[in-house]
Structure 1
Amino acid sequence: MSLLDYFRSNKKANSASLAKERLQIIVAHQRTERGAPDYFPQMKQEIIEVIRKYVYISEEQVSVQLEQNDDNLSVLELNVTLPER
């Protein structure tokens, strides 16, 4: 089950499968941060603070990922879910 399927599903899952899905999301998130530089958590927090100057968001509304490929290129991906007006 993908992350999008989890949010699209309207059926009630039992607590064991729900806990398993949540754990998979947490593990996937931690794997993306494993190879990140030491300054990465502080940079993420500062990005959140800048966005909060204009609109309130929680940390759950921000996803920051750092991808590195074999060509020594790094891609910083920032996804922000902004509140409705």
Structure 2
Amino acid sequence: MSVLGIFSRRPKKTAEAARERLQILLAHERAGLSGADFLPQLQRELIEVIRKYVSVDEDRVQVKLEREQHLSVLEVNIELPAPSERRN
């Protein structure tokens, strides 16, 4: 191998280029998804995890996603039971 061979750009294989394009496309599609697409599942999973430690009513859990230009905010509000009602 020559020294110049190390610094020269080798052309990408077709499969590599296609894979990169697909990853970019998927990233753009995921960024454009509305919050409603994954929020119900996220809320269910959060409730499952919280119930391992504390008894919680599903109606007392709120998950909200707000998107602005360059910022997304995921807000999770969980109303916990009184200390006397918590699991030990």
Whichever residue aligns with residue 47 of structure 2, its letter is: I
Unaligned runs of 5+ in 1: 1-34
Whichever residue aligns with residue 82 of structure 1, its letter is: L
The correspondence for 1:76, drawn from 65, 74, 77, is: 74
Aligned pairs, number: 50
Amino-acid identity (%)? 50
Task: Give the TM-score of the pair, scaled to structure 1.
Answer: 0.54
Whichever residue aligns with residue 45 of structure 1, its letter is: R
Secondary structure in 2 aligned to 1:64?
Answer: strand
- Deviation (angstroms), 1:69: 0.5
Task: Give the TM-score of the pair, scaled to structure 2.
Answer: 0.52
Unaligned runs of 5+ in 2: 1-33, 84-88
CA distance in 1, matches of 2:42, 2:78: 15
C-alpha root-mean-square deviation of aligned residues, in Å? 1.2
